[in-house]
Each structure stands twice: as structure tokens, then as C-alpha cells.
Structure 1
Amino acid sequence: MSAFPFRHKLIALAVASALTPAAFAQTSTGENVLPEVVVTSAPAEGIARNASVGGFSEAPLRETPASISVITHEQMQERSVRSATDAVKWDASVQNSYNAVGLADWFAIRGFVLDQGANYRKDGMVILAQAMVPMENKERIEVLKGLAGLQAGIAASGGVLNYVTKRPTDTPTRSATFEVRERGTVYGAVDLGGRSDDGVFGYRINAAAEEIKSYVRGSNGDRRFISGAFDWRLSPRAVVQLDMDYQHKSQLTVPGYQLLGAAQSIPTNVSAKRMLNDQSWSRPVVDDNDNIGIKFEYELNDNWRTTLQANKSTLRRDDAVALPSGCVPEGLIIGYCSDGRYSLYDLRRDNDKRSIMTTQALLQGNFMTGSVRHDLTTGVSTLNRRDNFADYTFGYVGESSIYDPAYYDYALGPTNPVSLRRKDEERAAFIQDVITLTDRMKLHAGVRYVQLKREQFNSAGTTTRSTDDNFVLPNVALVYALRPNVNVYGAYSQGLEPGGEAPTGTNNAEIILDPSKSKQIEFGVKADVTQDINVSAAVFQIKRNNEYVNAASDYVMSGTQIHRGVELAVQGRVTRELMVGTSFTALQAKAEGTGDDRIEGKRIGNVPRFKSAVYMDYALPQMPAVKLNATWIYSTSKTFAPNNQIAELNRKVDGYHIVNLGARYATKIGNTATTLRFGVDNAFNKFYWGDASNAFGGYLIPGAPRLFRMSAQFDF
């Protein structure tokens, strides 16, 4: 049955709800004492000045002792961003990590792969990122680079992606967007917001529908999404915020490529448009995910406030793929045959259900001790996680080839029964004090205490691993203002790795290792060179326990993974017409103290030594309604290291240059403000390996070829 009738009803319902706000209006008003709870777009110049991901509340970026980038709503609009993968291209410290077509956005920051159940946040609260995170209801994306032990507790070393949701607007918002791209993908979305006449009730409704026809022929699907964000001013000092969203997505996924033969050579003469999951019995991955969050803010007095917050994130999934993996004729478990043949398997499991429930209570305020000012945050948080899933069905079908695919008649059998496989209970208490020592110097000192209980079970319900431990995570930083517009900082922090999951094919497959501490030292400078141009730079070193597959095919911790790097970012308006941004990252990543010659001192996989992103927006002086944009992304070579078994021989993945171009034309059709946009990604149609991920045993994933898109946005 076509999904279009349902989608039309979905969008019609959203429009109807948004156009009748008076039905929700309260009858009493009071003097506004709380700050406005509306989050609007970034300033007109498109430069973010504040972020909340660096601490426990929104703060100026220049005063935050951490490396942070922000992708604003305006930037995402101008480039028709529909996924986080598209959004983070401007940050050179962010790298794709198994971003296969049809699956979720998965990233590494500073060379460390993010955990999909710990490092992704919505308004500061953990969400499940195994499914695509929708962009329609996101105001901005905040990227904290490096350890986040104080802010987040358990989280992989790379950093945190925080998705900030759109909030109700003081003035009515009525916007609709329509887009076509790729081989005929059709997309439509509405964004509706406003307040009741008395200002007490606010609403923001977003809805979208998409018929997907990927650039990989055969990877078709559909998506539909709806969200609502509401707030109520209970009194001049109290406000309640509620947000909820639901997304359904179904699409045939596109597997990547493994190395060829015993020589482990990189495949050649392959196309980014090749579909290796195109059997007649192939089934799509079907995701249904939802989030519901509530937040209560109350001003106790002019100096102190309290915040209570909770969020539940749920994912239901049917997972399926005709999986190319290994080579039975040559006895390879991981790696295709030397001539490009591969073994084909039926890999499926149905009715996965994963959920995370998080809560947080904060008390924040300021006080003086003599001449010293203290800005204090203290609080407690909880996290409860439940993963219910089955063992995969894994049926051998036959042999095929990346150059000459074979097709099989194959009858799908039943999938295995679902049971509880993982249970996490996390409790934490934290405190942070920002101490103003002098007019120029501030000391940030904080600590987080984390208690974790984790149980893992097999399909029979027997406990396979049990974790019961507690950790203390300190964080200290000193910020000094060289000048009113220039700050330097030094910071030391500890984080808590969630523990990696043993990949398929290992003796302890799907077992998650125990958490372990990581450590970071960082020095940086941030400056507002002019009112319109800001600069930031950081040097850092991160150490954590190294995880890899040893010679006995066990996934273990052994030695230390050390990443040392330099980051530089410049963003600003050079002239009234021209805005330019640059991001550069140089990174050395290796393993030490492992006692294994295969990996000792070798480069960590999927980590380029240098990556850069340069982007610009230019408004034509003669035609200010026309704005052009361009992005140039460069990456050096990187090592492909399946299962972290690192070796240089025949595993070097070449670097690449990619250019994306776009244009915007703003006009009016009648009384309706209309914005027409056109874009072409990978304008020169370069083939390149976008990912060289060790996930799921290790796969190479081609970057997208040249892609076109056209859209029209109507603001009523």
C-alpha cells in the first residue's frame, strides 16, 4: 500500500493543529520574569555565539574552555541539509564511520568512533542514534570535541553531538518546503509555530514526508516524520516545556566492500552506485523511533534557578540485508575473494526494541565569597537502558561478485525470538563551579561521580557479563582573557568509555566490554577578531584503553590508544556580501603498549592525518536576492583496519578532494516569501572511499557521486 495517503493526513493534521492555537490558550497572564524560552535562528550573519553542549546551560563559545562548533539553522537551510552527515561536513574534526546508504548517521570525532547509545544528545539528554536522527525539528547541531565526562558521564572519547530542538516562536511561523533530488526522491515538509493571544501557550509543529530513491539503484524507501514542541508559562517564574517526535523509515540498505583475497587489496573499478543487496528476497531495514521529553524550569529568586528534565528515546527495528561477507572458496571469514567474488548470506532479525530513559535535576546559581564570584551548578542524573533483540539468522545463500552479480531464488525462513539482552542502570551526581578569580581569569572546576550496573544476557536468558562499578571523573580548566576579545585556556579532563562491542566473527561476539577511563589535556585560544569574524584553535592529547581483535579472535583491551592533534577554525563575514569559514584538523592516532607487533605503533584505522573544510556564501552585489555557496572538503589518505587489526600492507585508502556548489534565489510570489535553492554535491563526480570503517568486521563505503537537488521554500 502506498504511504502517500497517510503522509497527506499527517501533514494536514499538523497544519490544522498549528492554525488553532487559541484552543489551547489559558485565560490568565502575568508579568514575564523568566527569559524567553523561544530559540530562534542564529544571527543574520549565520555565526553562532553560544552553545549549551560545553556545560549545563547555554554559554558564550569564547568563554567555554572546550573545542566546540555549531551548525546553525541558517547554514542548514542554505544547503538543504536533510541529515546530520550533510550538516557536519563543515567540521574537519568529524569523520564518517560506517555511514552506509539506508542506515543511520554514525561519526567519529578526533578519530574516536562515537557510541550510538551514549554520545548523541537531544537538548542535552541521551537519545538512541542507531536510527537516522531527523533534522526537521532541529534548530542547530552543537559539536563538543573531546572528552565529555563531566557533562555526559559515560560517552566515547571523541565528543558529543547535541541536537537542539526548535522551540515555539513569538511571531507566527508558517513555512513549507518541497524538494526533488537524486533519482527522483521527493520531499515535503512544514514548519509551523506561534503563541496564543495571551502569550501563555506556545507551539511548534514540524512534519515531513519523503519518497526515497537513492543514487544507488535499488535502495528505495520512504520516510515520514512528525514532531511537536510546546511550552506553558505556569507563572512569571515557572515554565514547562514538552516535546515529542515520531519517525518511520523503511529503506533497502547498501552494503560496503571488504578487502580482496589473502593479499587484502583495495577493490578497484567499482561504482558508488553499485547495489550488493538487490536480491529479489532482499528486505528493507524498517525503523520506528520516537522521543518524548519534558522540562520544568523554575526561578527560585533572581540568582538561583532549578531545572527538572526527562527524556525517553525508543527504537523499534526490523533488520535485514542480503549480506556480502567473506569468501568460502578461499576460506576467508572477513574479506572477499581475490577476483572480487564474495559469499552471500541472509542476515535478518525482527522486532528489535531498544529504549533509554534519562532524567536530570539541576540547581544553578551564583554567589559571592568576599570578592570572588561563584557560578555553581550541581545536580543528579539517571539513565535506564533496555535492549531487546534476537540472534541474527545467518543463512548461506551462494557466491556472487562485485563485478558480475549472481541472483538466487531463496525462501526466507523465520527469524529468532526476541529477548532481553542488555540492561543498564546508571546513576550520577555532579558539581561544577566557575570561579571568577580576577577580571581576566576564571577557574572551571567540576567532578562527576558515576555508578553503573550492567547486565548482558544470551538468547536463553543466561547472564554472559555483569558490570557493577563506580567512577570519579574530574574536570578542571583555567580561562584567561588576554584582551577583552581574546581568551586562552588550558584544560584537563577524564572521561568514561562505554566499552566497545565485540564484532561478528570473534569468540565473544556482541559482548560489550566494561567501561574504562580516558584522559585528555587540551590548550586553546578563542578570539573575536572583529565583530563579524571569530577564530579558535586547540591542541590536544587523548589517551584511552585500546580495543581490538587479538590473534586468538578475542575482542580485548590491550595497550593505549593515543590521539594527538591540532584544530583550527575561522568563520566570519569578510565583506557585507561574503561570508567564509574554514576548519582544519591535523591528527596523529596510534596504539602503544599492546605487545602485538601487528598493531604496535601503527596508525588507527579510518583516521586521516589531515582534513580540511572550506566554505563560503556570496551574495551578488548587483542582485542581492541571489546568493551562491561553495564547499571544498579535503582529506589525506587513511588506513583501513578491519577489526582494528592494523597493518599497512595494501590497506592504504587514498585521500580525496570534493567540491559542493549551490545557489539561492529569494523572491515573492504574490504575498508569499519564496526561496528557490539549487545544489550539486561532488560537482566533479570524483570516486572516493568516504568510510574505511572497522565496524561489523570492516567495510569500505564509497562516497556519493555527483548529486543534484532543487527545492522551494514558502514562508507565509
Structure 2
Amino acid sequence: MAPCLPSLPGRRLSAGLAATLALSLACSLPAQAQADPPALAAARQFDVAAGSLGAVLTQYASQAGIELTAPSALLQGKTSAGLTGRYGVAEGFDVLLRGQGLQATRSVSGAYALRAVPAAGPGAATTLTPVTVVGSVREDPTAPTTGYLARRGLTGSKTDTPNIEIPQAISVITRDQMQDQGVAPALQDALRYTPGLIGTRGVNLTDDSFNMRGFAAGLATTSNTPVFRDGMRQSPAMYASTVEPYGIERIEVMRGPGSVLFGQVTPGGLINVTTKRPTDTPLREIELQGGSHDHKQVGIDLGGPLDDDGVWSYRVTAMARDADTQTDYIPNDRQYIAPALTWRPAAHTSLTLLASYQHTRTMYNWGLPVAGTLRDNPNGRLPRDRFTGEPDFDDYDTKTWTVGYLFEHKFNDTLTFRQNARYYRSDMTWNSAYGAAMQPNQRLLNRFGFIRSDEYKSFSVDTQMQANWHHGNIAHTTLAGIDYSHTPWVRDERRGQVAALDLYNPVYGAPIIPNARSSRVLDTDASQMGFYLQEQMKIAQRWVVMAGVRHDRSRSTIDGVLTTGAANSPESRLKLRDRNSATTGRAGLVYLFDNGWAPYVSAATSFEPESGAVDFNGDTFEPTKGRQYEVGVKFESPSSPYMFGASVYDLRRSNVLTADPLHPGYSVQTGAIRSRGLELEAKADIARQWQLIGAYTYTNAEILRSNAGDAGTAPPGVPRHTIALWGVYRFGDAVAPGLKAGAGARHIIGTSGYVLGTTPTDARLPSYTVVDAMLGYETGPWTLTLNVNNLLDKRYVQSCYYATTTCFYGEGRSAIARAAYRW
């Protein structure tokens, strides 16, 4: 009979029952002698999931093929992180029970019994059983991870799978890395040392947009925001909201097409952030920040169990920030609160409720003209702090509410059911004296009034059934899922008149005269449903085969009214109906060597609808399509403090919109873009003393077909080479207890410019190097940190975009001091 350890009830047992109840596991092995025979002493592979201590010991005993008896009173309220790696039976018990005050002893019959560790008398010496660790405690990809090395993730497969077994490039940024690098206030700050992507527009607080493997993601679009939260899309549109870094536990980046699991995404990849969730152990932290640009921030992070049995646990994360930015008059103000509650009535069932409220006040950064930033201007160079709007008019205000849940139930060791859902609402107002074009004197910037309000709503649900099963020496993980989203949103946009601004001697206070009517009022209703199936096969612990297929159906309706804005303007009624379907897939192969190396090969496809656009005949467009081939190698070993990944890829996007040569003002779907590249990433976490990161990216992106005159050039904002190095050193007790210092450098070469527009740039922007530094000190419950970004105050243009060719300075030198107290 297979071993079985029943789950503990979700309430305190009576004293009499607890005294007599024992959890017994029958095993198929005969009784053993007291000394561990070679079969039990020999190391074997274990893969034990985290959970209550009772559930973890059940899995462990089952995989070890042993009999274990444990009084329930010793298990109540205890949890375990599980176990992954190669261990002897005694070694595995030592790791699982470390810090629990428990030990497992083996009787002459061969059965194991769990008992409390006897208290040592005064002066008594404690003898520790030597343990040779060949594996490591199983990592939970949704919980805090110590250090920089994260070995497991959810983004690559939607299952808890080691990243080395995913045949696609994946990077994980842990909370420890974010803290060391002083991440604030935008998501792009956390990804500065990650290969394959870069933020789009300098100091950007209104959206989370990136260039990923040569393709813009979330830039001036409404449907392909690249950021997901807990596996579901973070927001339904580009300007609906942004991620608050203080509220996330980790960031997972999957480069290359991800439509097979996530549906409508850019071919360059996606970013999945994990919300801070309830913890099994008490967590209490308060944090104060202060720094450049009058930065002031306070944060609080509380969590832990609510009862002795660990059935209920909670987390409350909150922060408030009052700050300016390097651009005059643009604030960086935010309030954020995210309560979370987990109910775990048994080891096989959990329900986590998540909610959040976020209020952001900032202004849109229009950038600055080419002349005076990237190119010479007879009037001189424009400063980084120049503001092009009107301080008393410009505003970008978003209020976002979310509520959702993460549910999981394990029917048995084979079948697991999961359902994740979220309701999202965001109200956005955006007022701007928007830049248009420079006048011939190269001093005056023409502007227009821009008044916009949006209301977004979204409901998303992802339902999954997972089966873990074996057939001979093949371990299968089969995943089937259905996800659905419904997004209604309303946009009201009005234009107006405002005087030009002298960028070299700005005088603010010009009135904005709104047009009599809105220029456009759009009512959009979009829905999407996807069906996906994925199979992971692990053959003889060597070969990993992954294959998946997905079919999506999407629908969107746009009803609107368009006018010139004049009081007597005629109305143009807009009615767009669009239905699309697409089938995408992924297939890959990984080989796992004993020494930790794992070469892989994969192919994957993606799609994105082109919503809201029609051709000359009034017909909607087909979705754009992506196709990628990737070859790479990864290195990772539980006994090694190093991780490494290398990948080369060929990624193509077809059905790209380009100018209609026969009908000016319209588009045809004959464009194509290709990106080829190499990405290298290395991380090391050596004895918790040295923590190192190295990354290199080579991207050769090219517009293959276009009617706009830019064929043969690269899409804007894509660096040809990116080199990033970061390191932190902890001095240790012998030198300076609690002191650590770190530094990093990012070298960007050959960012592609914007070769179209009123003032085209060169094909490549000037290269630049940015140096960052940090200093930290820990003593008792206090952690003190100073982060300085762009230490040498390098002045550089990060990117240029748009028809008027607007350029964006990168952030200058800034410093933030942080004091955190934990109790």
C-alpha cells in the first residue's frame, strides 16, 4: 500500500484526541534493521512541494518508501518549504526538520517515528549529525527568496517548474536584488541589469513600456501591455496604471513569444510580477526614504499567521510617496495599499484574497526636440529639467482598484485544480499642454491643449487543471486551461489652444482654451477567451520535452463620435466590429547533464490583434504574428552558487501595418520586422558575501518591409549592444559586521534612432555608460541603505520617438537613503 499521511484538520484538536492520535504511513518495503542499509543511505532524487509539515512529510515518506509515525500535536501549526535534490533518507529528514525542534528516529523494525528534540541540560554539549547537502530546500516561486538566485518560476510554464527545464530564456529579479539596487519608483528601474529589454522613454511614470528583443511592448498601444501580475494582465491598456515596485515580491521575465500561455502579447516577451502574499512566519517592517528631488516615502509591510494552526495568514503592504522628478514641475506622488488574506483549511487547499488601491499623481513627459538634445541648436543645449507643459494645467491622475483571488485544491497526488481571478477598475484624467513641433527659430515650441479622461474596467479569470503522473521512467506534467477577460472602457478626449513656449526662456501661465466639444468619445468593449494545453515530459531525469498549443478568440466593438471640436462641428459616427481567432504554440527540448549544464532548443509563435484600425475599404486587420526559433544553454546546480544562461534567437513579426501607397492616410498589412540576437546572463551568490550579476545583449533588429521609407533600418529605441555588471560585497564579522557595498555599470551602444518624422535622427544614437552605487549597514532590527544612480551624472539621450521626433534624456544623478526597521 502506498504511504499516506492524512492532512490535519483546520482546527485545534482536543487534548485527549491529540494525545492519542498518530499519523501512520504504511509502506511497501519490509521492516529494516536499525542501522540504515545502503538502500536508505544512498542519495536519491526528491521533489517535495512546500506546505504544512504534515503534508510535506507525507510526500517525503511516499517518495522515500518508508513508514513514519508522527503524533499530530507535534505537527500542528508547522509548515515546511519542501525539498528538492538528492539526499539519503536521514539527510532529507535533517533538512526538513531543521529549526522545527523535531527529529526522526528509526526503530529496529525499520519504521521511523517523529519526536521532539530533548532539551539539553545546563552545560551539555549538542552533537549535530553531519549532513552532506547534495540538494537544496525547495524554493517557493511566490514567497520571499534569499539572495539573487531564483531557481524555480511560474511564468515559463504556469506550473511550479525549475527554470532550467524551460526551453526559453527566463530571468528572475528577487526582492533582495531590488532592495540592493534601490528600485524606485518605476518597474523599469528593477530591470536595468536584465538582458534583452530596456525602458522606452527615459524618466517615464505614466506607463510600463519596454523594448524587448527589438520590439516595442506597451508603447502607444491599447492591447499589448507586456506586464502581467500573478499570471494575469496587469492593466487592460497602456495608460491605465503602472506597477508599484514596493508591492511586489519578485519579477519574472520571459523573453520571446508567450502567447501559448498568455494569449495576446508582443513577440519580444512579457514581464510577470508576483504580488506580496501572506507569510507563514511573522513579518513586520516599516521603512522611511528620503533623497534627491525632494523624495519622501514611507512604507509598511506586515504579515504572518493569524492563528496557532496556520489556517489563516495575512499581509498588508502600504506606502505613500511625495516626490518630484528631474523634470521641473513633474511630481512623483503615490499612495498604495494592498491587503491580502490566505485561508488554508488543509494542506491540499488554499484560497488567497488579494486587493489593492493605488492613486498616482504625475505629469506626462513629452520629451524634448531633437535640436538642443541630440543635435546642436543655435540657441544652445536644452537642460534635462526643462518642462514643456503648463504647471497649473498639466496633470496625470490615476486611481486604480483591484480585487481578486488565487484558489488551489489538490484532489490527490495527481490532480490539482487552480483558478485565479481579478476585477480591475481604473479612472484616469490626463491634461497636458502637449508639444507639437519647433518653430523655424528653434526656440519656440508649438503646443496644443490635450484633455482626456478614461474609465477602464476589466475582469479576468484563468482556470487550470494540472495532472502530475508517471509512465515508466517518464514523469508527466499535463496542464489544461481556459482563460477569459472582458474589458469595457470609455475614452473622452478634447483638444484646445495654448500659446507656444520659449524652451530657452520659459514663461509659464498661458491659458488653455478648450474646444467647444470633445474631438472623440469612444466606447470600447473587448473580450477574449483562450484554450490552452501543455505537456511537460521528463524522461529518465535527463530529457525534458515541452509542447503546448493554444487557441484564442477575441472580439471588440468600438462605438464613437468624432468631431473637429468646434461648436457646430458635424459628427462622424464610428462603429467598428472586429472578431479574430488565432492558434499559437511552443515546442522545446532540454537535456539535463549531471554537472548542471542544460542545452535547449525551442520554437514558439505569438499574435496580437490590431484593434481600432481599418483599411481603405473599411475592413479590420488580421492579427500581427510572431515566430521565433531559439537555441541556448543554462547552468544551474543546487550545490553551486552560480547560474548562467546563454541564448541566440531569430524572431520575426509579420502582418505589420505600414502606409498604404495607393491611399494616403490609410494602412496596409504588408510590413515585416526581424530581430536576431544573443543574450548572456550570469549570477552568483557566494556564501552570502559576494552577490554578482553580469548581462550582455546583442540585438540586430531590422525593418524588412515598409512603405514609409524606413526599410533596412532598425525600429527606434533598440540598443545594438548592452553590457551590465553589478556586484555587492558583505564585509563580514571580521572586518565590519553588517556593512555591505555595491556598484554597477551599464554600457549602452548604438541605440537605434527615429529616421522618420519632421526632424529625423541618425540611425544610431551616441553610446553612454551609467555607473550606480550602494552602501548598506545592518544592525539588529535596522537596515540602512544609500543608493546613488548615475553616480557620475552622465548626460545622455536614451531614445527618440514619434512623428515630431521627440527625444528623452536618461535620468541624471539621484540618491535615495532608506531606513527600515523590522521587529
Does TM, normalized by the shorter one, top 0.5? yes
5 Å-filtered alignment, 1:347-386, equals 347-350=450-453, 352-386=454-488
Aligned pair partner of 1:339 in 442, 445, 455: 442
Give the residue type in structure 1 aligned to 2:779: T
Offset of residue 568 of structure 1: 0.3
Aligned partners of 2:713 and 2:763 also within 8 Å: no
Aligned partners of 2:774 and 2:788 also within 8 Å: yes
Deviation larger for 188-197 or 363-372:
363-372
Find out whether 1:633 has 2:740 as its counterpart: no
Gaps of 5+ in 2: 1-8, 14-51, 57-78, 82-139, 563-571
* CA-atom RMSD in angstroms: 2.9
From the superposition, tell whether residues 507 and 211 of structure 1 become closer, same or farther in structure 2 (CA, over 3 Å). farther
> Take 1:699 and 1:300, find their aligned partners in 2: how far apart are those partners?
56
Aligned pair partner of 1:399 in 496, 500, 510: 500
Give the residue type in structure 2 aligned to 1:536: G
Offset of residue 373 of structure 1: 3.0
Aligned partners of 2:580 and 2:622 also within 8 Å: no
Q: Which residue of 1 aligns with 2:815?
A: 708
Offset of residue 46 of structure 1: 2.2
Q: Which residue of 2 aligns with 1:564?
A: 676
Aligned partners of 2:267 and 2:605 also within 8 Å: no
Q: Which residue of 2 aligns with 1:87?
A: 190
Find out whether 1:246 has 2:354 as its counterpart: no
Aligned partners of 2:195 and 2:680 also within 8 Å: no
Give the residue type in structure 2 aligned to 1:368: H
Offset of residue 31 of structure 1: 8.1
Give the residue type in structure 2 aligned to 1:592: L
Q: Which residue of 2 aligns with 1:154?
A: 264
- Which is bigger in relative contact order (C-alpha 8 A, separation at least 6)? 1
> Take 1:297 and 1:418, find their aligned partners in 2: how far apart are those partners?
44
> Take 2:804 and 2:402, find their aligned partners in 1: how far apart are those partners?
31
Q: Secondary structure at the match of 2:261?
A: helix
Q: Which residue of 2 aligns with 1:111?
A: 214
Q: Secondary structure at the match of 2:369?
A: coil
Offset of residue 301 of structure 1: 0.7
1:105-135 CA distance string (max 9 Å, x none):
3212112111364421111011215322112
Offset of residue 228 of structure 1: 0.9
Q: Which residue of 2 aligns with 1:168?
A: 278
> Take 1:611 and 1:354, find their aligned partners in 2: how far apart are those partners?
36
Find out whether 1:682 has 2:790 as its counterpart: yes
Give the residue type in structure 1 aligned to 2:209: W
Q: Secondary structure at the match of 1:653?
A: coil
Offset of residue 451 of structure 1: 0.8
> Take 2:54 and 2:765, find their aligned partners in 1: how far apart are those partners?
58
Deviation larger for 705-714 or 458-467:
458-467
From the superposition, tell whether residues 156 and 124 of structure 1 become closer, same or farther in structure 2 (CA, over 3 Å). same
Give the residue type in structure 2 aligned to 1:612: I
Aligned partners of 2:263 and 2:607 also within 8 Å: yes
> Take 1:228 and 1:206, find their aligned partners in 2: how far apart are those partners?
6
> Take 2:399 and 2:412, find their aligned partners in 1: how far apart are those partners?
43
Give the residue type in structure 1 aligned to 2:485: L
Aligned partners of 2:329 and 2:391 also within 8 Å: no
1:443-499 CA distance string (max 9 Å, x none):
111100111112223226944432212111121101112444111111011101243
From the superposition, tell whether residues 221 and 98 of structure 1 become closer, same or farther in structure 2 (CA, over 3 Å). closer
1:636-678 CA distance string (max 9 Å, x none):
1223227x6699764532111000111001113xxxx101111
Offset of residue 54 of structure 1: 0.5
Aligned partners of 1:389 and 1:419 also within 8 Å: yes
> Take 1:602 and 1:418, find their aligned partners in 2: how far apart are those partners?
34
TM-score (norm 2): 0.76
Q: Percent identity?
A: 22
Q: Secondary structure at the match of 1:89?
A: coil
Give the residue type in structure 2 aligned to 1:185: H
From the superposition, tell whether residues 253 and 415 of structure 1 become closer, same or farther in structure 2 (CA, over 3 Å). farther
Offset of residue 43 of structure 1: 4.3
From the superposition, tell whether residues 646 and 338 of structure 1 become closer, same or farther in structure 2 (CA, over 3 Å). closer
> Take 1:338 and 1:523, find their aligned partners in 2: how far apart are those partners?
53
Offset of residue 182 of structure 1: 1.6
> Take 1:649 and 1:697, find their aligned partners in 2: how far apart are those partners?
11
Q: Secondary structure at the match of 2:260?
A: helix
From the superposition, tell whether residues 420 and 635 of structure 1 become closer, same or farther in structure 2 (CA, over 3 Å). same
Aligned partners of 2:434 and 2:447 also within 8 Å: yes
Q: Secondary structure at the match of 1:90?
A: coil
1:549-570 CA distance string (max 9 Å, x none):
5673445433310000000001
Offset of residue 548 of structure 1: 4.2
Find out whether 1:433 has 2:535 as its counterpart: yes
Offset of residue 600 of structure 1: 1.7
Aligned partners of 1:424 and 1:453 also within 8 Å: yes
Q: Which residue of 1 aligns with 2:245?
A: 135
> Take 1:259 and 1:415, find their aligned partners in 2: how far apart are those partners?
33
> Take 2:548 and 2:141, find their aligned partners in 1: how far apart are those partners?
28
Q: Secondary structure at the match of 1:683?
A: coil
From the superposition, tell whether residues 421 and 599 of structure 1 become closer, same or farther in structure 2 (CA, over 3 Å). same
Q: Which residue of 1 aligns with 2:415?
A: 304
Q: Which residue of 1 aligns with 2:725?
A: 614
From the superposition, tell whether residues 295 and 142 of structure 1 become closer, same or farther in structure 2 (CA, over 3 Å). same
From the superposition, tell whether residues 104 and 386 of structure 1 become closer, same or farther in structure 2 (CA, over 3 Å). same
Larger Rg, first or second structure (1 or 2): 2
From the superposition, tell whether residues 195 and 474 of structure 1 become closer, same or farther in structure 2 (CA, over 3 Å). same
1:259-307 CA distance string (max 9 Å, x none):
349xx95766122111112x25423100001222212111111111110
Aligned partners of 1:100 and 1:253 also within 8 Å: no
Give the residue type in structure 1 aligned to 2:305: R
> Take 1:27 and 1:483, find their aligned partners in 2: how far apart are those partners?
44
> Take 1:238 and 1:465, find their aligned partners in 2: how far apart are those partners?
45
From the superposition, tell whether residues 439 and 409 of structure 1 become closer, same or farther in structure 2 (CA, over 3 Å). closer
Q: Secondary structure at the match of 2:264?
A: coil
TM-score (norm 1): 0.87
> Take 2:142 and 2:529, find their aligned partners in 1: how far apart are those partners?
34
Q: Secondary structure at the match of 2:178?
A: helix
Offset of residue 32 of structure 1: 5.1
> Take 1:543 and 1:121, find their aligned partners in 2: how far apart are those partners?
23
Offset of residue 370 of structure 1: 4.6
Q: Secondary structure at the match of 1:459?
A: strand
